[in-house]
Structure 1
């Protein structure tokens, strides 16, 4: 608990000084890092600082994910802050292409808790034609599908 208070205090002090060591606000990059994305829907899950993840839908129908990229559930490339597979992060929104040129209408993220893939993400988007696209660790949330690939959205229709 004391550690969280200390970290929070350090973060607040960095905001007051207008300078931070990891350039979240772009001040160290020469220009402000202000997002031009307009969000229609965002779903986030927070268990702890190492497992938070989000998925967002923009007003023009694009889907983005960011946060904990545990076991490459956001994308196959490792953009992490550590060398371990379980603790990599996507620190900026990563554009996810929805299969079949479908238009996403709703997005959600779930975090799996327990067993081998503890705190790993599964992302979902519902399309305008009623198809459900899902990617991530799965753990049986959308059934056991032969050839399931992590980091790639797959589309399934309820027929």
Structure 2
């Protein structure tokens, strides 16, 4: 009985959903005055690179240049916290804004500058990898999301955790 009344109401719900949705595209700010209304970093976040274009113009973007993209920590005992700093420079022509740095698990914790970095400025992404309950070869990625092209850059800590 309950199922049959639910089936009768389904077309009403479906029609309500279809008629309730707007089909107009979301508006986007076209000038700087509108960007100021959205906040101080709105114009930095917008990436001028058109992914669908055949020739990608990367001249007007931030560029994340690391001194190294991988740190090999060798062998450590399980329970050791491996810490490493990854220095980088914004070699692009606009301010660099890192919006997120994330790892694949809670054992690897990145920290990064939250303020925009002007062209030519440098910063550090610090990583702490807790090897507790880890054994054998470990390669932990940290993905940085920023207003660069491509938008994601990955750095790694790599080594062997031994159980003694």
Which structure has greater strand proportion? 2
Q: Which has the higher contact order (CA 8 A, sep 6+)?
A: 2
Same fold (TM over 0.5): no
In the superposition, the TM-score normalised over structure 1's length comes to: 0.27
In the superposition, the TM-score normalised over structure 2's length comes to: 0.27
